[in-house]
Structure 1
Amino acid sequence: MHKTLFSLFALFSSCFILLLGNGLINVLLPVRMGLDGAGTDTIGMVLSLYFVGLLLGAIYSINLIRRAGHVRMFAGCVALGAVSILVCSLYPESLLLGAMRIILGFCNACAFTAMESWLSHSSTKKTRGKILAVYNAVVLSGLFAGQFFMNLADPQQPTLFVIAGIILCAAVIPIVLSSHSGPIMDEVSSMSLSTLFKTSPLGVVSCFVSGVIYASIFNLLPVFAKEYSIVEFQLSLYMGAAIFGAFILQFPVGYLSDRYDRRSVLLLLLFISALADVAVTILAPLNMTPVLFLVTAITSGIIACTYPLSISEAFDRLRQNEMAAAMGCMILAFAFGGIIGPYAASVVMKTFGNTSLFYFLAIIQLLLAGFVIYRMVKRRALPVVEQENFVMQGTAISSAIDLDPRIDYAESSKTTDPDVKSTVEFYPAGGEKNNLSS
């Protein structure tokens, strides 16, 4: 295992540097637009466009890898993302920033697909879970550290855009200089969204809602923070607390979801998060900063856990050989939620004030809680022993899903082509699980 991780050091280094740049730009963009006098709804629209690019990248990334290979596709897409950021440093108008968000979303989705499929090829059936855990830790630590680059310069100056572009360019270096080459991308079967919805209505709806609330809080939190003068280094700490909550809460949530009825766990978490949302709006005007940071970390952590819980809920109702096909539908549902979330939340914030962000989140989560209760009435609980394991998910949403240890293992075999280290062969699943009818 240690030897495998060491061989992937260059890939993890590129991943960390890439997320450093993304962590910076994610905070810089809403702050800069606010300082330039952009309306809250305009900020929300620009931020929502990232998920349009992410969705397009998830759809087309595999074809790009087949055409250019992992290394060239990763390098080209990350360089394109850096160019889009650097162009915005010259002319940071809303229209151009929106185009940059689409390009950056597309490039990130392609980069994540390249990294994850590479990791999947480098892992074995026994090591996939551990490699996925390390990968998620690298992703979230990069996002966490990236927030603090905000303090290097005045956000109204082009300097921070330039720094973000430089960081993205630097992300190319470790993976390009690596001696490894990626595997061949194999075909993945597809499943229609309607078919998945019939099998797991809660899984699909929960994925969509998790996209709405996740994209809303992590994109618009700087706008909310400005209302209470949480700026500069304190803003970095505030955003860092939210990302840390998104990482650390996945451990207790995963523990609970694997030992109790997953829908009951989701229901309880939604109620706790809604209460925390209301508490944030009460604490913020009182300047109780440490408690505010803690409560925000709790609700952002629960929101981040909603997506992996949604996937686990859907997988509970599927055969193992259906999971890879279903994953694409869940990514689609999450991306659509991400497109709608920031703009819908920004319209609410413009109408009722920036403090209404957390009321918006609370209402959406309570509506999902109501749907959870409805599904609990319509379908009896799956025995805990038949539930799939909870698997931690980072913030990266891509089409490379075979790294998930719950999905059929793809064993690699050597080829005679010196430019291709291995190819991926898929075998039928060994066992099946009986679905519970509604």
Structure 2
Amino acid sequence: MRTTLVPLISLFISCFILLLGNGLINVLIPVRMGLDGLNTNTIGMVLSLYFVGMLLGAIYSKNLIRRAAHIRVFAGCVALGAVSILVCSLYSDPVLWGGMRIVLGFCNACAYTAMESWLSDSSTKETRGKVLATYNAVVLSGLFFGQFFMNMASPEGTVLFVFSGILLCAAVIPMVLSRNSGPLISEVSSMSLLALYKISPLGVVSCLASGVIYSAIFNLLPVFAKDYGIVTFQLSLYMGTAILGAFLLQFPVGYLSDRFDRRTVLFVLLFISAVADFAVPVLASQGIFTGVFVGTAITTGIIACTYPLSISEAFDKLRQNQMVAAMGSMILAFSIGGILGPYTASIAMDYYGNAALFYFVALIQLLLGGFVMYRMAVREALPVEEQEHFVMQGASIMASIDLDPRTEYVAHQHALSSEAETAATIAETDPAAAVKMARAIAMANPVLGVEVAAAVATVPGINVLRLYEVMKEAVPDQILGVTRAVVTVRPELAYELISKLAEWYPEQVVSVAAEIGHALPELRIEMARVAVESAPESATEVAEYYAHVLAEERDAMRPADRAEDTGDEAAASIASELWNVAPEQAMNVAVAMVDAMPESAVLIAEEYLASNIGATDEEVLAATESEILVSAERTEEHKEWNQEWSQEWNQTHDQEWTPDYHNTVELVSKLAEAAPEQALDMAVAVVEAVPGSAVEVATELAHSLFDKMSDDTHDAEKQSDEDQETKPQEYEDAVALVQRLSDASPEHAMNVAVAVVEAIPESASEVVDSISKGTESSEGEWINSVDHKPAD
């Protein structure tokens, strides 16, 4: 943790100083306008314009950063923000101040974007959650302490305006002295507000409402406080208490949100906050200021939690790859609410007095609570264990999209070094010279040489394999890093590059191929193949590795992503690739895959049958009776082929030929043991592919079922007689086995039933009743089949 945060100290210092200035400005502006005699309606309008600037900044900040880079955008926008507050000290005009509020909102949004993308670039997938928590703590600390600068001088003068400008300018210094140049800004696809509403109506409405109540309460609280004599240092304490409540309540709210239905938690919190809203004006009129402070801290804390709860609610319904795009729409909804909040609240305060601020907030919360109840009635809640985790999000700043640990992590791309850019430029006109340059740089600076080699490899016309060989000769100890870098930029050459690596360092290939396949899912099949080709004995090991990778990805998959899960298909494809390269390990590969990915049992069995069961014409003629492994394929042509060679065998050997389904039964047995819940579905798939194996498969599963029932009976010996009378229900699995295998292979239905009844004699009545539906049971066809079964 320390190694993650120490390099970011200069950025956190800049952030803290910037928020100190904003904390002072947030109180200074409404107090000064009140002292100037402006009506509440005008004050609300001016304060609302800040969120217009924030919205514009959220839209255009990335374009500015892309043009001018992080440090220049941060420095320029913060300096412009300082100019705007200094201009406000010159003239007390609501129109001018409204314009300056738009400028300040725009500048802050750009500064926040620059800081957050910088923080995101400096964090990894594992540390970005901690970085976000630290960032939010710094922001709230700056806002909290900034309130107390109000006591330095009278708000009627210019001193506090000038001091605010000084703080904003001072915030630039640590940032510009940093040696980090910042990441490149990537394009992010957007999602319309309407599209997001269709996916998560409550998430959108809650974001909008949280923007209304957050902007109203935190902007107009000084106006309310003035009516009850809460001024000077007491005002700083009051505002500080409100911000402290916004910080502290996120911890218990997050705990409750992750352990109970989130919508229920939100409804209860809104009700509690509404009660506190009604209580605060009453307590203030009675002069009970301790109660006013506590009630305000409770309601501001819940209001601050409404925004991150809204994001979590929306994320519960979104796929992983939709989150970042949807966050833009949630920011839009919150900003629209922020624009509406102060102005609409000020209208209520103008008509009904300043106490109406809390009544206005309570009304919005109760309306939102009603919508929460409506959504709970029309849509079932996700299981608590499948809900997204609550993540603290400061509503006072734009949402930290890239830092949110719930969103899909995408490593930021840094600008190429000057050496890499030069080598890439040379490669466009003289590829040979660029390769020589990469070699020379690598010998002088191996780490830089890896970057240069990757940059050169991206240029069309470069012989990447030749470049790879040159780098191996120049820096053999860096060849693994070169391999990863080049494969990342030229994934279509992955197989050729890893094959080369196998010639040089065969002992390294399996681990490198596994690592690349893990990082680049689209290359897993190729990496699995090349690993086993270089080390055939590692097929089972490779299968186990990728099976566990797929299983971990499935376990981490969000509910909304499961509809597009292709893990079973990926498991079957990788297994097929491995046993094609190492057929002698086919069964072990299949079992390893199914053991980690039980849901893939059916697909694995189908792929295995298609690849490994069956024999060619010559093999049938040359085989002895005990070595024949023939299975009928799904197509009619293969069925005819099987019958034809059966007849030829009979004529040649003057005896009846019966195919041996030992491999098929072994497959069913082992996969059923690895994935018992999938056993019946997998057996049906096998019998559909190899109808002749129906009886053997039924026998195998029936014996397994009988063993399980015997164990269950042993455990249930202490059951009452009444419980024992219900025992025929235990044979439902046997009936299902007969029915489904009979449907898969109708011509073997009678023999399947006989095999199951022979293995589980107690199930005879249920099996006969089930299999004989629609026939005349008096004929006794099934009973006779069982009674007259030839002895072995």
Same fold at TM > 0.5: yes
Structure 2 match to 1:353: 353
C-alpha displacement at 1:290, in angstroms? 1.6
Identify the structure with the greater helix proportion: 2
Structure 2 match to 1:330: 330
Structure 2 match to 1:286: 286
Matched-pair contact (CA < 8 Å) for 2:386–2:558: no
The answer as to 2:384 corresponding to 1:366 is no
Q: How far apart, in 2, do the equivalents of 1:43 and 1:93 lie?
A: 11
After superposition, the Cα gap between the structure-2 partners of 1:134 and 1:140, relative to the gap in structure 1 and judged at 3 Å, is: same
Residues 34-433 of structure 1 aligned to structure 2 (within 5 Å): 34-398=34-398, 401-412=401-412, 416-418=416-418, 431-433=557-559
Q: How far apart, in 1, do the equivalents of 2:315 and 2:12 lie?
A: 28
Letter in 2 for 1:115: M
Letter in 2 for 1:122: S
Structure 1 match to 2:646: none
After superposition, the Cα gap between the structure-2 partners of 1:184 and 1:154, relative to the gap in structure 1 and judged at 3 Å, is: same
Q: How far apart, in 1, do the equivalents of 2:23 and 2:216 lie?
A: 16
> Any idea what SS the aligned residue of 1:157 has?
coil
> Any idea what SS the aligned residue of 1:411 has?
coil
C-alpha displacement at 1:179, in angstroms? 1.3
After superposition, the Cα gap between the structure-2 partners of 1:385 and 1:37, relative to the gap in structure 1 and judged at 3 Å, is: same
Q: How far apart, in 1, do the equivalents of 2:362 and 2:399 lie?
A: 30
Matched-pair contact (CA < 8 Å) for 1:119–1:131: yes
Deviations 1:126-157 (A, max 9, x none): 11111100000000000000000000001000
Matched-pair contact (CA < 8 Å) for 1:53–1:102: yes
C-alpha displacement at 1:276, in angstroms? 0.2
Matched-pair contact (CA < 8 Å) for 1:81–1:104: yes
Q: How far apart, in 1, do the equivalents of 2:372 and 2:521 lie?
A: 32
Matched-pair contact (CA < 8 Å) for 1:11–1:175: yes
C-alpha displacement at 1:102, in angstroms? 0.3
Letter in 2 for 1:375: R
Deviations 1:157-181 (A, max 9, x none): 0111111011000000000111111
Deviations 1:243-293 (A, max 9, x none): 000000000000000110000000000000000001101100111112210
Matched-pair contact (CA < 8 Å) for 1:216–1:341: yes
After superposition, the Cα gap between the structure-2 partners of 1:428 and 1:341, relative to the gap in structure 1 and judged at 3 Å, is: farther
With 387-396 and 74-83 compared, the bigger mean Cα shift is at 387-396
Matched-pair contact (CA < 8 Å) for 1:110–1:398: no
> Any idea what SS the aligned residue of 2:381 has?
coil
Q: How far apart, in 1, do the equivalents of 2:237 and 2:28 lie?
A: 14
Matched-pair contact (CA < 8 Å) for 1:119–1:403: yes
After superposition, the Cα gap between the structure-2 partners of 1:132 and 1:206, relative to the gap in structure 1 and judged at 3 Å, is: same
* Structure 1: 4+ residue segments shifted above 6 A: 419-423, 425-429
Structure 1 match to 2:582: none
Deviations 1:333-353 (A, max 9, x none): 000000000000000000001
Letter in 2 for 1:433: P
Matched-pair contact (CA < 8 Å) for 2:132–2:400: no
Aligned equivalent of 2:560, options 429, 434, 437: 434
Matched-pair contact (CA < 8 Å) for 1:139–1:395: no
Q: How far apart, in 1, do the equivalents of 2:413 and 2:157 lie?
A: 52
With 426-435 and 305-314 compared, the bigger mean Cα shift is at 426-435
Matched-pair contact (CA < 8 Å) for 2:183–2:413: no
Letter in 2 for 1:154: S
After superposition, the Cα gap between the structure-2 partners of 1:436 and 1:40, relative to the gap in structure 1 and judged at 3 Å, is: farther
With 84-93 and 214-223 compared, the bigger mean Cα shift is at 84-93
Letter in 1 for 2:560: N
C-alpha displacement at 1:123, in angstroms? 0.5
With 194-203 and 406-415 compared, the bigger mean Cα shift is at 406-415
- How many residues of Structure 1 are paired with residues of Structure 2 in the alignment? 437
Q: How far apart, in 1, do the equivalents of 2:520 and 2:269 lie?
A: 37
Structure 1: gaps spanning 5 or more residues: none
Deviations 1:316-336 (A, max 9, x none): 001111100000000000000
C-alpha displacement at 1:413, in angstroms? 5.6
Letter in 2 for 1:185: I
Q: How far apart, in 2, do the equivalents of 1:296 and 1:436 lie?
A: 42
Matched-pair contact (CA < 8 Å) for 1:59–1:399: no
With 45-54 and 88-97 compared, the bigger mean Cα shift is at 88-97
> Any idea what SS the aligned residue of 2:129 has?
helix
After superposition, the Cα gap between the structure-2 partners of 1:202 and 1:414, relative to the gap in structure 1 and judged at 3 Å, is: closer
Structure 2: gaps spanning 5 or more residues: 422-447, 456-488, 490-518, 523-552, 564-792
With 206-215 and 400-409 compared, the bigger mean Cα shift is at 400-409
C-alpha displacement at 1:416, in angstroms? 3.3
Q: How far apart, in 1, do the equivalents of 2:131 and 2:316 lie?
A: 23
Q: How far apart, in 1, do the equivalents of 2:334 and 2:415 lie?
A: 37
Q: How far apart, in 2, do the equivalents of 1:119 and 1:78 lie?
A: 18
Matched-pair contact (CA < 8 Å) for 2:54–2:105: yes
After superposition, the Cα gap between the structure-2 partners of 1:350 and 1:365, relative to the gap in structure 1 and judged at 3 Å, is: same
Tell me the TM-score normalised to structure 1 length: 0.96
After superposition, the Cα gap between the structure-2 partners of 1:415 and 1:220, relative to the gap in structure 1 and judged at 3 Å, is: closer
> Any idea what SS the aligned residue of 2:405 has?
coil
Matched-pair contact (CA < 8 Å) for 1:208–1:336: yes
C-alpha displacement at 1:435, in angstroms? 7.8
Deviations 1:298-320 (A, max 9, x none): 00000000000000000000111
Matched-pair contact (CA < 8 Å) for 1:140–1:395: no
After superposition, the Cα gap between the structure-2 partners of 1:281 and 1:217, relative to the gap in structure 1 and judged at 3 Å, is: same
Matched-pair contact (CA < 8 Å) for 2:183–2:414: no
> Any idea what SS the aligned residue of 1:258 has?
helix
